[in-house]
Structure 1
Amino acid sequence: MKAFLEQMDTFFDPKAVAVIGASRRTMKAGHVIFKNFVINSQRNLFKAKLYPVNPTEDTIQGFKCYSSVLDIPGEVDLAVIVVPAKFVPGVMHELAEKKVRAAAIITSGFSEIGNHELEKEVADIAKEAGIRVLGPNCLGVYDSSTGVDMLFLPETKTLSTGDEVVATPRPRPGPIAIVTQSGAFGAAALDYLAGKQMGVSKFVSFGNKADVTASEMLKYLLHDEKTHVMLMYAESIDKGREFMDVAREVTCIKPVICLKVGRSAAGARAAASHTGSIAGSDE
């Protein structure tokens, strides 16, 4: 259990992060995500080492850029992947060689559009190397206390007038953890909680769930001292008996509110097109 908790903790409190696909182009997800880390570093909230990876750039936001994660000096324990889907297997092989412990694959273009073999290839590489993976096709992680922020939704935006306004507010630290398969639901929940001045401990977006499951995340959050209650949004439940066993264990100590979609045939079709999930009808 200790080894499991330590590896899962890498997603939320890493020692060194590589953003693979970091970009200077402001409209790119890789730009927004890397900027999130930079801003939180300037706020003295994010305290880990930070490395942008992009073979076409020399520097990004004042940070030396590396062509490959293999060129980074020292260890990297968390990778945030924001490159086109076809390049992800190659990146995963490099992460395996670098002995990276965890990866969040923000990139879409996998099982949600029928590319099941590509997703399986990525999952197989990760499994063989012992890398835990969130995603693909996800928003990743937001941790209010460590400054890890993989959301490619900018916190502020600049209007045509030049005024900067809040776009996607981040909630303050608090006792609520959000575990969601839908990034859109997760973003809406964060926005609502921020508006109500309700605090969040951790936010996790699974996407296609190629590796890390809801059961594992609930088990991890059970041992997280900052989390007192969990809000979960699921489009599919894998290994239902295992999930119920974990849920019973967790809810003896911490409440879990679970919203399950795909209860109708139409809902199941929507889930399949969104994250490639097979959600059964309740009829």
Structure 2
Amino acid sequence: MNKLKTKAENLHAFFAPKSVAVVGATKKINKAGHVIFKNFVENKRRGVFKGEVFPVNPHEDSILGFQCYPSVTKIPVDLELVVVVVPAEIVPEIMEDAASKRVKAVVIISSGFSEIGNHELENKVLSIAKKAGIRILGPNCLGVYDSKTGVDMLFLPETKILTTGEEVIATPRPMPGNIAMVTQSGAFGVAALDYLTGRQIGVSKFVSFGNKCDVDEAEMLHYLLHDEETRVILLYIEDIKSGREFIKIAKEVAKKKPIVALKAGRTKAGARAAASHTGAL
């Protein structure tokens, strides 16, 4: 378990990074890159997110008042976390840049990998990460929401502008609480968050890991075991990578924190849907 504890400590950069770069940040308000970058900016202005945030886009000079950089390698400080929101074919190049920058963790929001049969591209990305000691969440995921640290990668805008010019709440974020949600399906996760928000049930952390080419449910459970903000864990999974390891860790975690798990893809139709959704078999 010591090895797992070290791994769990390595996951901390996903939830409380001292610095984060959003690759694919843009001024186009309908794009995921804009929404995610704006989430960090707004939470920083509110005093919730304490880290530094940097937009990366070679075609922009500045976004939301922040200087834009053409590459993560051009950012003048050490980076802990990189959020990637660019087309899949560009991701290996971004990973090489992250490796040279000695980034700790990368969240790949982008789709277009094993979920559509593009295993070679996903393996290439993972190979770069392993050589550099980078942890990956995703690809094809919604990333992380942490109610305490202000990390918010949900690319559904919190507010929207009406035709009257009035700004209204569009996708309210859940209040802080003690429930952590770990989900392989972003759509299921967002629906669950919406339900919890409507019922005023608080959330400590939300993790969507999509294709989970690197970080999986077993590691995340072990991380949450040591998370002081979490008392209960909700888990939605379409497949389990290492069944015995998962059961072993789940038994340890469940001694201290209840786990409520929903396993999808148990029927033939469900298995087909899961395979096309996150590449799960």
TM-score (norm 1): 0.97
Task: Choose the corresponding residue for 1:105, options 97, 104, 108.
Answer: 108
Q: Considering only aligned residues, what root-mean-square deviation do their CA atoms show, in Å?
A: 0.8
* C-alpha distance in structure 2 between counterparts of 1:168 and 1:274, whole Å: 23
- 5+ residue gaps, structure 2: none
Q: Does residue 36 of the first structure (1) align with residue 36 of the second (2)? A: no
Task: Choose the corresponding residue for 1:82, options 81, 85, 103.
Answer: 85
The equivalences for 1:1-283 within 5 A come to 1=2, 3-278=6-281
List structure 1 runs of 4+ shifted beyond 4 angstroms: none
The code of the aligned residue for 1:202 comes to K
Percent of aligned pairs sharing the same letter: 65
8 Å contact kept, 1:19–1:51: yes
8 Å contact kept, 1:169–1:190: no
- 5+ residue gaps, structure 1: 279-283
8 Å contact kept, 2:9–2:223: no
> For 1:51-85, what per-residue CA distance to the aligned partner results, in whole angstroms no more than 9, with x for missing partners?
00000000000000000000000100100000100
Moved more, 162-171 or 233-242: 162-171
8 Å contact kept, 2:84–2:106: yes
Q: What displacement does 1:168 show?
A: 1.4
* C-alpha distance in structure 1 between counterparts of 2:104 and 2:6, whole Å: 11
Aligned residues: 278
> For 1:93-128, what per-residue CA distance to the aligned partner results, in whole angstroms no more than 9, with x for missing partners?
110000000000000000111111000100111111
> For 1:237-263, what per-residue CA distance to the aligned partner results, in whole angstroms no more than 9, with x for missing partners?
111011000110100110000000001
Q: What displacement does 1:164 show?
A: 2.4
Q: What displacement does 1:225 show?
A: 0.4
8 Å contact kept, 1:208–1:275: yes
The code of the aligned residue for 2:116 comes to I
Q: What displacement does 1:167 show?
A: 1.7
- Give the SS at the match of 2:177: strand
8 Å contact kept, 1:12–1:148: yes
> For 1:147-196, what per-residue CA distance to the aligned partner results, in whole angstroms no more than 9, with x for missing partners?
00011111111222333222211111100000000000110111111111
TM-score (norm 2): 0.97
The code of the aligned residue for 1:219 comes to H
8 Å contact kept, 2:137–2:209: yes
* C-alpha distance in structure 2 between counterparts of 1:162 and 1:184, whole Å: 29
Q: What displacement does 1:5 show?
A: 3.0
8 Å contact kept, 2:136–2:215: yes
* C-alpha distance in structure 1 between counterparts of 2:169 and 2:196, whole Å: 15
